[in-house]
Each structure stands twice: as C-alpha cells, then as structure tokens.
Amino acid sequence: MSSFPTSIPIRLEYRNVTMRFADRGGQGALTAVQGVRFAVRDGEVVSLIGPSGCGKSTLLNIGSGLMAPSEGAALVDGAPVAGPNVHVAFMLQKDLLLPWRTVAENAMFGVEIQGVPATERRRRAANLLAQFNLAEFSDHYPHQLSGGMRQRVALARTLAVDPHVLLLDEPFSAVDAQTRMALQRDLAQTLSRAQKTALLITHDLFEAVTLSDRVLVMSRRPGAIIDEIAIDVPGRDDPIGRRADPKVAAYVARLMDRLDIAHAPLERQPAEGDA
Amino acid sequence: MKPGGDSSMRRGAGASLALLVFFLAAWEWGPEALGIPSFIVPPLSTVGAEFVHAFKFDHLLLHTGVTIGEVLAGFVLGSLLGAFVGYLLGMSPAAELALSPYILALQIAPKVAFAPLFILWMGFTVYPKILVAILIVFFPVMVNVLTALRTIDPDLINLARAFTATRAQIFWKIEFPTSMPPMFAGLRIGATLAVVGVVVGELVGGNVGLGYLLTFGEGQANTPLVFVSIVMLTLVGGIAYLGVILVERRVLHYLPARGIGGNL
C-alpha cells in the first residue's frame, strides 16, 4: 500500500493510544483520542487530517513527550516516549520566535538548550538560514520579518536540533496562500533532502496530499483513525508540481468524502489546539 | 518607517519649545499683570534669585544630594525586592494564592501613611524616607513582573520543554526576558513614585532634604524657597525617570523604535 516497505525501520509509532481529560465539571472524563495506532517509517511524511477538536494536537503533544497518554504509548525509534527528548522536535502554527533574539539566535534556540557547543550551533544555524534564503536577515529581529520569513526561521529552529522525527501542527495555516505554497515547497525539499521523518497535522487537504507519502483520516471525537490513503504520485519533494497531477484531485475528493465535509453540520467547534 | 517621520517630529519639538518660552514668560510677567502679590506667586526672576541665595546660604546642594541619595536607595532596593517577589510568586501559584490577599491589602494601604510610623521607629534619619520609597516602589514592579509571568504563552514554555529545557533554562531563556518590558513599565512608575515617598518622609520629620527645605520655606512664609524646592524635586524625579528610560533603551533595544513621549 505504502511506498515504504516493511524493511525500512519504524521511526515513530503510536500503539493503542487513548487520551482522556478530566471534564471541566470534574466529573467524568472526556475522551480525546481512542485506540490510535499507526507507524511512520524512516524518511516517510505522513499527514493527519480530521475535524476540529478530534485530538490531532493531543497526538502531537503525546509524541513530543509533553503529555503522557492515558493508555498505550508513543514510541520513537522503538523506545517509549517518557518525556521531551532530543529526537523529536515540533513546530506550531504560531512561529513562537523570541522577540529579543535575532533571527540567527532564534534558529539556535533549540540547540542552545540541548547544550550543543557554540561554534557548532552557529554553523548549523548559518547553514539552515542560507538554505531558506534568510542569511542576510541573520541579525534582524523577528518584528522586522514577514510572516512567511518568521515561519521559515521557526522551521530552521526545528531542523537545527537534527531531530529524528518532526511533528508539525498546521505549520503554515497562519500565512497567506502564496506564501504557504512557497513554504510547502521549502519544507518538502528539506524533508526530502535530509531524509527526515515527519508527522504533519493540517486542515488543508491539498497540503496533506501534495506533501505526504500517506494521509491518515481521523474521526470526530473521540478521535480514531478511520482511513489511510497512500499517495501514489511521484515528486514528493515538489508539491507545486504534484498539485497538477490529476490523481491529486481524486485523493482530495476521497478525503472530502471520508471527512463528510459536504454534509458536516455547521456546529460550534472547540478551537483547534484546545484538544 | 513611521508616518510623518522627521518633519513632524521637528514640528512637535518646536511647538514644545514655544510652549516652554510662553510658560516662562507668563510666570515672569503674568502675576504682576493680574495683580497677584509676589508672596502668592513669585515671578520667575524672584525664584531665580532665591535659587542662588539658597545655593549659597541654605545648603541647597546638600539637601538635593540627600534627597537624590534617598530616592536612589529606595528605588533600587524597592525595585529589586519587587522583582524578586514578583518572580517568586510568578513561579509558585500556591504562594501567590496564599499571599495575594495580604499583598492586596498592603497595596491598598496608602504607603505614605506609614511615614510617621517609620519615623517613630527609626528617628530623624534617612532610613524612614528610604523605607517609604521602598514600599511605594515595590508594588508597581512586583505586579508587573507577576502579570508578565502569568501571561506568557504556554506554547512558548512547551516549545522550550520539547527541546528538553530545564526549569532554570525556561526561567533564564523565556520567563526572565519576557518580563523585561512590563518590568520597565513598572520601573518608570516606580522612579517617579520614589520621589513622592522620600518627600513625604522628609516633610514628616527630619532636618535635611528637599522635603525639609519645603517645610522650612513654608514656616518662614518664603514662597520663592517653596518654589525652588518644588522645581528641584521635579528635576530629581525627571532625572530618575530619564535614567530608567536610558537603561530601558539599552535593555529593550530589540523592540521597534518609539519616541520618548510615545510611551510616557
């Protein structure tokens, strides 16, 4: 089904992960995700789509070790995730750049925390910033950059720690459509070149299809995986070119159908990120 | 960068200067023109003469120096204490919950009312004045630091945690720098309030300082001396405020530029 045969080692795995939160009233529990299981192989990019509040962000928090699941476990390189670790890095819709740090210093934030020597972290930051055409902005402060540039700095910060697994939570949903396409291209090229493993949460069905090797569809709360679609379109490092492939529209149509978007009631949804 | 830019700024400065000239002229000739006796509002030249007299015979420099010293000591100690307690409470919600009613009560109590009490305790020394200043500077700094820590984006903390940050790293790399802009807002308020605290202390008891000179002038019905004291006190407060702004500009250099009047 997937272009990734079983001979390739698994980088990230969710084993029967269930997450319950105490209800606001204190009585009973709210099940955010229920029995989620899937694996992401080395170098594979998998997207996770689903309705708002289905627990996508919860899965990401569990994968990065910020939350412990009620049942089951997340595993990175076969070892259960017991807390934040250096093998996983995440990136959110918000760039979370520190206003008192320059672009270069922001890109170095993660490696600095992880105790990488100063010369090495400067080298890594310089490389990544050059890769994202930000070299000349190294000494600028975040408020001097556009939204797209800021998000690229955030991506550089995520990649600088050289993680085995990248967890991306709607990384480009706050930028305009054109910038988003450029960022998607940069991300796709970087992931492909560095052979990185990534789990991408998105609401953008085209983004899911064009950037991924595989798309997982989640149900309404309690979130569970209800479908899995391998994207059999060449050129994962070229999402803009991939967009033109007629198969992409068919995949998107299937995702819309699975999400029941045409018939979804317009109810008030909890804001994404709450879950 | 900013709309208007240089020319509008120059026009603003010019108008400001014109206003000053007008004010000084009104002070000099206004009272006489309106028939106000000089023991009510002495004209500028009389106050100027009194300034020279006070400088020569009333130890104006000594009084000013003592007041500056007290303001400085009260401001520095009050700020440090306020920041320290702010960080402490900010990092421990339990401590904040336990202490907040008492902090609130102490904040509501008019701090200057403590001046006579402190003088009873410590006599006619500089210490009661410094203590009032400490008390009065403490709150704006503490409250601003505490609020800054309370309103940090939790995702920012999570980002640092996901990068395996320790508690100390989260404090030094995120919480402490985030608290800087609000803390400086508190310090600006504190700088001017420190002068108020010190002056009230000096008014209540003592024989040195600009507050004392103020009551001394009042006792002699020497209105020009009262004016001289008020002007000197304003100058001390202004210098303290300016000092904070200069340090703030260095520390918060990364913020978008803004005029000195933009954030008074």
- Which pLDDT tens digit goes with each residue over B111-126? 888 999 999 999 888 8
B79-115 residue pLDDT tens:
999 999 999 998 888 888 888 888 888 888 888 889 9
Q: Which residues of chain A have pLDDT under 70?
A: 1-3, 24-27, 261-275
What residue of A is the nearest CA neighbor of B153?
A: A96
Considering only the beta carbons, identify the residue of A61, A84, A141 that sits closest to B254: A141
Q: How many CB atoms lie within 10 A of CB A80?
A: 14
**What is the DSSP-derived secondary structure letter of residue B175?**
I
* Contact status, residue B215 vs residue B200, Cβ threshold 8 Å: no
State the Cα–Cα distance between residues B70 and B82, nearest whole angstrom.
17
**Residue of A92, A100, A166 to mutate when probing chain B, most B C-beta within 10 A:** A100
For residue A107, the distance in angstroms to the closest alpha carbon of chain B comes to 13
For residue B263, the distance in angstroms to the closest alpha carbon of chain A comes to 19
In this predicted structure, what is the pLDDT of residue A136?
A: 93
In this predicted structure, what is the pLDDT of residue B261?
A: 46
What is the share, in percent, of chain B residues with pLDDT greater than 90?
60
Q: Match 């029941």 to its residue by tokens.
A: A260
- Which residues from B are below 8 Å from A141, CB to CB? 254
In this predicted structure, what is the pLDDT of residue B133?
A: 94
Could you tell me which residues are beta bridge partners of residue B220?
none
* Contact status, residue A8 vs residue A154, Cβ threshold 8 Å: no
Interface contact B167, partner A, CB < 8 A = no
- Which residues from A are below 8 Å from B160, CB to CB? 109, 113
Q: What is the mean pLDDT of residues B124-152?
A: 93
CB atoms B162 and A66 under 8 Å: yes
State the Cα–Cα distance between residues B42 and B37, nearest whole angstrom.
7
CB atoms A109 and B173 under 8 Å: yes
A128-156 residue pLDDT tens:
999 999 999 999 999 999 988 999 999 99
State the Cα–Cα distance between residues B97 and B84, nearest whole angstrom.
17
Interface contact B251, partner A, CB < 8 A = no
CB atoms B173 and A89 under 8 Å: no
**What is the DSSP-derived secondary structure letter of residue A10?**
E
Q: How many CB pairs under 8 A join A and B?
A: 54
- Which residues from A are below 8 Å from B165, CB to CB? 113
- Which residues from B are below 8 Å from A84, CB to CB? 161-164
Q: How many CB atoms lie within 10 A of CB A127?
A: 15
Q: What is the mean pLDDT of residues B193-216?
A: 91
CB atoms A161 and B161 under 8 Å: no
What residue of A is the nearest CA neighbor of B181?
A: A100
| Distance from the first to the final alpha carbon of chain A | 31
Q: Match 């004209």 to its residue by tokens.
A: B43
Residue by residue, what is the 3-state secondary structure of B188-231?
HHHHHHHHHHHHHHHHHCCCCCHHHHHHHHHHCCCHHHHHHHHH
For residue A234, the distance in angstroms to the closest alpha carbon of chain B comes to 33
pLDDT bucket at B239, cuts 50 / 70 / 90: very high
In this predicted structure, what is the pLDDT of residue A28?
A: 72
CA angle A247, A93, A68 (to 5 degrees): 100
pLDDT bucket at B264, cuts 50 / 70 / 90: very low
State the Cα–Cα distance between residues A137 and A135, nearest whole angstrom.
5
CB atoms A99 and B255 under 8 Å: yes
For residue B156, the distance in angstroms to the closest alpha carbon of chain A comes to 6
Considering only the beta carbons, identify the residue of B156, B165, B169 that sits closest to A96: B156
CB atoms A85 and B160 under 8 Å: no
Q: B176-194 b/e with 16+ CB inside 10 Å = b?
A: bbbbbbbbbbbbbbbbbbb
Interface contact B45, partner A, CB < 8 A = no
Could you tell me which residues are beta bridge partners of residue A20?
A31
State the Cα–Cα distance between residues A90 and A187, nearest whole angstrom.
14
Exposure of B262 in the CB half-sphere (CA atoms within 13 A): 8
Q: Torsion angle, CA of A54/A156/A100/A176, rounded to 10 degrees?
A: -60
Q: Is the pLDDT of residue B173 over 50?
A: yes
- ipTM computed for the complex: 0.86
State the Cα–Cα distance between residues B39 and A180, nearest whole angstrom.
74
Q: What is the mean pLDDT of residues B203-217?
A: 90
State the Cα–Cα distance between residues A127 and A138, nearest whole angstrom.
11
* B243-to-B63, B106, B236, B249 alpha-carbon distances in Å: 20, 28, 11, 10
